[in-house]
C-alpha cells in the first residue's frame, strides 16, 4: 500500500492523532445511543424527545464544525483539533450529572460543539499533510477510527450498563482529554497552511460564495445534507432498534445481545472505510462514493424490515456497516480537494456542517415516526436519502490525485 520511506514520521503521527480524535469522538457520541433506553426509562422520555437530544447535539456540531473551520484557517489545524477534543471530553462527562431532560439538552449541546469541531480540523490536517496519491487511503484510515470507537462504546455499554447504569458510562467520556497532551508535543501544523496567505474572514466567505466555487459550495452542502440525514437517522437508532420490544417495531434483543449484534456491523464499517480509501485513490472519488451509497440504500431498506428475524439482522449487519459507513471518508477527500488552502478549512467546515443542519432533524424525525409506526419502518426511510446523496456527487468534479495548493 505504501512504499518504504514514502510516508514520513510526521505524516504518520498526524494521521494517528486525527484517527484517535475521531475514534474517541465516536466513543463519546455513541455512548448516548447505547444508553438511550435506560435514559428514556429514568426520565420518561418519548421517542421524539430522545431524538431531540441527538438533534440538539448535531445542530451544535454543525455550529462547532463551521466555527472550527473558520478558526483552523486563522490559528491552525492542530490547535483547533486539541480544543475540540477537550470540549467533547469534558462535557460528555458532565452528562453523568444530569438530573432532568433540560440538563441533558444543555450538556449534549455542548458536547456537539466539540464533536463537530474535531472533524473539521482533523480531516483537513490529514489532507494537507499526506501526498495526493495516498490522500483517500489516509482519510479512510482516519475515518476507520469511528468504527473502532463505536466498538469500544458497545463493549463498555455491555459491561457497564447492566450492572452500574448509564451515568458511569458517560463519566468515562472524560478520558479522551488526555490525548491532547500527546498531540501538543507531536503534531505540527501542515506546511501548506503555514505558508498560505491568511485571508480575512469576510474575504474567505466571499471567495466561497462566488464563481467558480459557488456551485461546488451549494452542491456539497446539498449532498452532505441528504447523506448525513440518512446516516444519523439510521445509526442513532440502531442500538434502540435492536433492543426495543417487537411490538414497538424493534428486534427484541437485550442490551448485551444488541451490543453483540452491533460488533459485526462495526467490523464491516472498519473494512468499508479502509476499502473505500483504496478504491477512491484508484477509481476516483465519484464512482466509489455513488457505489457505496447505492449499496447503503439497498441494505438499509432490507435491514429496517428484518426486525422479526435476528438471524437476518446478524447477516445484514456487516453490510449495513460496510456500505453505511465506508463512503464517509469521501467528504474529507473531496472537500479538501475542491477548495484552495486559504479557505480550505472554512469551506470544508461550512459544506459538511451545512449538511449537519439538515441531519440534525433526522433523529427526531425517525423517533417521531417510530412512535407511530415502529422503529423498523421508520429506519427504512433513510434508504431514499442515501440514494439521492449518491446521485448528487456527480454534480461535482472528479478530484482524484489533485495536489493541494
Find the CATH number of the domain harbouring 117: 1.20.1250.20
Indicate whether 88 belongs to any domain.
Answer: yes
Domain count, the chain: 1
pLDDT digits (tens, 9 = 90+) for 332-377: 899 999 998 889 999 998 999 888 888 878 888 888 888 887 778 8
**Average of pLDDT values for 271-298?**
95
Q: What is the DSSP letter of 404?
A: P
Indicate whether 2 belongs to any domain.
Answer: no
With a cut of 80, say whether residue 183 has pLDDT above it. Answer: yes
Q: What confidence score (pLDDT) does residue 249 get?
A: 66
Residue 33 makes CB contacts below 8 A (sequence gap 6+) with 153, 235, 236, 237, 238, 239, 240
pLDDT digits (tens, 9 = 90+) for 193-251: 888 777 888 888 899 999 999 999 999 999 999 999 999 888 888 877 887 777 776 77
- Mean pLDDT, the chain, integer: 88
- Give me the DSSP letters along 182-219: HHHHH-PPPHHHHTS----HHHHHHHHTSTTHHHHHHH
What b/e string do you get for 204-227 counting C-beta neighbours within 10 Å, with b at 16 or more? Answer: bbebbeeeebeebbebbbbbbbbb
Q: What confidence score (pLDDT) does residue 311 get?
A: 83
**Average of pLDDT values for 101-129?**
91
Q: What confidence score (pLDDT) does residue 290 get?
A: 97
Indicate whether 233 belongs to any domain.
Answer: yes
Indicate whether 403 belongs to any domain.
Answer: no
Indicate whether 405 belongs to any domain.
Answer: no
With a cut of 70, say whether residue 38 has pLDDT above it. Answer: yes
Radius of gyration over every alpha carbon of the chain, rounded to an integer in angstroms: 20
140 lies in which domain range?
9-182+199-395
Indicate whether 356 belongs to any domain.
Answer: yes
CB 366 within 8 A of CB 379: yes
Q: What confidence score (pLDDT) does residue 197 get?
A: 72
Residue 115 makes CB contacts below 8 A (sequence gap 6+) with 25, 28, 29, 57, 61, 64, 84, 88
Grade residue 95 by pLDDT with cuts at 50, 70 and 90. very high
CB 389 within 8 A of CB 227: yes
Indicate whether 329 belongs to any domain.
Answer: yes
Indicate whether 402 belongs to any domain.
Answer: no
Name which of 160, 186, 162 is nearest 173 in CA terms.
Answer: 160
354 SS3 class: helix
Amino acid at each position: 500500500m505504501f512504499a518504504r520511506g514514502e510516508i514520513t514520521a510526521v505524516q504518520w503521527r498526524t494521521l494517528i492523532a486525527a484517527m484517535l480524535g475521531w475514534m474517541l469522538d465516536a466513543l463519546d457520541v455513541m455512548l448516548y445511543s447505547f444508553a438511550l433506553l435506560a435514559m428514556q426509562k429514568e426520565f420518561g422520555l418519548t421517542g421524539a424527545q430522545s431524538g431531540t437530544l441527538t438533534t440538539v447535539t448535531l445542530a451544535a456540531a454543525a455550529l462547532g464544525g463551521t466555527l472550527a473551520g473558520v478558526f483552523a484557517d486563522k490559528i491552525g489545524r492542530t490547535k483547533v483539533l486539541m480544543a475540540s477534543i477537550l470540549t467533547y471530553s469534558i462535557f460528555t462527562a458532565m452528562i453523568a450529572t444530569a438530573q432532568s431532560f433540560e440538563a441533558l439538552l444543555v450538556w449534549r449541546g455542548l458536547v456537539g460543539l466539540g464533536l463537530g469541531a474535531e472533524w473539521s480540523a482533523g480531516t483537513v490536517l490529514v489532507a494537507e499533510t499526506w501526498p495526493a496519491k495516498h490522500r483517500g487511503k489516509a482519510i479512510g484510515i482516519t475515518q476507520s477510527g469511528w468504527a473502532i470507537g463505536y466498538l469500544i462504546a458497545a463493549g463498555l455499554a455491555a459491561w457497564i450498563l447492566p450492572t452500574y447504569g448509564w451515568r458511569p458510562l458517560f463519566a468515562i467520556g472524560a478520558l479522551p482529554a488526555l490525548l491532547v497532551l500527546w498531540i501538543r508535543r507531536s503534531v505540527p501544523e501542515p506546511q501548506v497552511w503555514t505558508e498560505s496567505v491568511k485571508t480575512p474572514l469576510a474575504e474567505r466567505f466571499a471567495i466561497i460564495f462566488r464563481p467558480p466555487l459557488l456551485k461546488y459550495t451549494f452542491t456539497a452542502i446539498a449532498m452532505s445534507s441528504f447523506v448525513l440525514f440518512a446516516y444519523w437517522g439510521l445509526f442513532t437508532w440502531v442500538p434502540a432498534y435492536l433492543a426495543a420490544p417487537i411490538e414497538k417495531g424493534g428486534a427484541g434483543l437485550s442490551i448485551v445481545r444488541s451490543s453483540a449484534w452491533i460488533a459485526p456491523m462495526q467490523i464491516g464499517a472498519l473494512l468499508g472505510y479502509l476499502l473505500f480509501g483504496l478504491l477512491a485513490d484508484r477509481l476516483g472519488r465519484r464512482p466509489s462514493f455513488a457505489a457505496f451509497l447505492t449499496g447503503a440504500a439497498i441494505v438499509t431498506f432490507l435491514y429496517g424490515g428484518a426486525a422479526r428475524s435476528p438471524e437476518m439482522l446478524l447477516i445484514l449487519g456487516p453490510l449495513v456497516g460496510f456500505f453505511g459507513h465506508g463512503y464517509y471518508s469521501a467528504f474529507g477527500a473531496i472537500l479538501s480537494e475542491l477548495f484552495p488552502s486559504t479557505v480550505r478549512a472554512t469551506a470544508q467546515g461550512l459544506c459538511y456542517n451545512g449538511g449537519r443542519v439538515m441531519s440534525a432533524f433526522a433523529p427526531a424525525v425517525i423517533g417521531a415516526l417510530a412512535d407511530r409506526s415502529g422503529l423498523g419502518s421508520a429506519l427504512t426511510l433513510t434508504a431514499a436519502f442515501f440514494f439521492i446523496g449518491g446521485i448528487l456527487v456527480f454534480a461535482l468534479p472528479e478530484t482524484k490525485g489533485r495536489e493541494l495548493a
